[in-house]
Structure 1
Amino acid sequence: MGAGSLIVVATAGEAARLDGLGARLVVSGVGPVAAALATQRALLDRTAGLVISAGIGGAYPGSGLEPGDLALSSVIIQADLGAWDGDAWLELDALRLSVRPDAVQGAQFPVWDGAEQAARRAGAAFGPLLTVSGVTGSVATARALAQRYPGALSEGMEGAGIAHAALLAGVPVVEVRGVSNEVGPRDRAAWRIAEALAATRRGVAAVLEFAG
């Protein structure tokens, strides 16, 4: 499956660190819509045995992750789809709505069966990864998301879009995130981009090795 895998990243900078791993590599642009469309186009052009959403992201409070660490998805969640009812947040499940027209299942996407074993091989944390359309910029919002989705490890902007397109095409999917910073206020001086990119490459390489 490894040679037949598709890696989807948001930026050329992320792609540059993932070249040479023996898998097809697509740069989608930023956000879940761009990522979904690029994934769909790539899979229509040529199918894959596995789709890997890869890139850097922030770590949520309580995750135990620090810059340079690695996270793999146990589930991929589009965390900002729902409705506010006063101060209460209602997920799509509570609204009996879904991103899929044929089921009431909210906005959560299952992942490839080998994800947990690949995470062990890579020395990565394994848990829910959240997708948002706007990067979280406050401690209060970061804590609210971590509380809303227990065990949430990392935040990115493309995973759910990639997962949606892959699963509609009948292809398993996994998300790999190298941690560049803590989720919260933008403190660029504290970001560790190089370490996060190195972790992302290590995680993708482990997934491809395990996938065979």
Structure 2
Amino acid sequence: MPRPSPTHDVLIVVATSGEADRLRDLPARVIVSGVGPVAAALATTHALMHAPARLVISAGIGGAYPGAHLHPGDLAVSSVMIQADLGAWDDDTFLPLTGLGLSVLPHAPHDATFPAWTGAGTVADRASAALGPALTLSGVTGSSAQAQALERRYPGALCEGMEGAGIAHAALLAGVPALEIRGISNPVGPRDRSAWRIPEALAATRRGVQAALAVMGDG
């Protein structure tokens, strides 16, 4: 009997059915979580309870921060996944969990920054993608000032999505590495739907996922 491909035990989590439709023919398990980090974490946990995986990929489209110099149709691969809006505001100053003495884990300090799979750099090289921090927010950034503030808070941030850190958190608790792959659909900032390039972003997402599956297959 032939051995199953190692890519078949990769779990791909996407927020919407439109994103899933571009990936369902790939040799991996694709699930649709719904939008946001909570929905994504719950769906990831449920999927891993029913069938194990060797890698969890958060995949989908997202916006690029100005300093990343990425354009619609480009690709971002996470070096880390950060829940960027988890903390507290003290007037105009944002206090992260570390500054509050809090943690997302019950028995260890953890500031909601989740490491990416060790193969992330190889995936980025193979897919001709940028490699850097991927930020997760529950509310999409809607102004240039907000985008610039997030870039100052998280130097080198490439892109913004709504699920990656939730998926990474669930994967961490399950003992499975995680990776976020975002095809760039628009710049982060003012909400200009006319500037969005969804088909190009979906194509880039697929290219990144294919690269990740190839790297897994090499292993």
Q: TM-score range by the shorter chain?
A: over 0.9
Q: Which amino acid aligns with 1:82?
A: G
Q: Which residue of 2 aligns with 1:154?
A: 159
Q: Alignment partner for residue 7 of structure 1, among 5, 12, 25?
A: 12
Q: Which residue of 2 aligns with 1:179?
A: 184
For structure 2, which runs of at least 5 residues remain unmatched after alignment?
Answer: 1-5
2:105 is equivalent to residue 100 of structure 1: yes
Whole-Å Cα distance in 2 between the matches of residues 13 and 140 of structure 1?
A: 30
For structure 1, which runs of at least 5 residues remain unmatched after alignment?
Answer: none
State the 1:2 CA deviation: 1.6
State the 1:8 CA deviation: 0.2
Whole-Å Cα distance in 2 between the matches of residues 77 and 154 of structure 1?
A: 11
Q: Which amino acid aligns with 2:26?
A: L
Q: Which residue of 2 aligns with 1:145?
A: 150
Whole-Å Cα distance in 1 between the matches of residues 85 and 150 of structure 2?
A: 9
Q: Alignment partner for residue 199 of structure 1, among 186, 200, 204?
A: 204
Q: Percent identity?
A: 69
Q: Alignment partner for residue 89 of structure 2, among 84, 90, 98?
A: 84
Q: Which residue of 1 aligns with 2:216?
A: 211
CA RMSD of aligned residues (A): 0.6
TM-score, with structure 2 as normaliser: 0.96
Whole-Å Cα distance in 2 between the matches of residues 130 and 151 of structure 1?
A: 10
TM-score, with structure 1 as normaliser: 0.99
2:26 is equivalent to residue 17 of structure 1: no
Q: Alignment partner for residue 39 of structure 2, among 13, 29, 34?
A: 34
SS at match of 1:184: coil
Q: Which amino acid aligns with 2:17?
A: A
Report the number of matched residues: 212
Q: Alignment partner for residue 168 of structure 2, among 159, 163, 172?
A: 163
Q: Which amino acid aligns with 1:117?
A: T
Whole-Å Cα distance in 2 between the matches of residues 125 and 54 of structure 1?
A: 15
- Moved beyond 3 Å, runs of 4+: none
Whole-Å Cα distance in 1 between the matches of residues 195 and 115 of structure 2?
A: 32
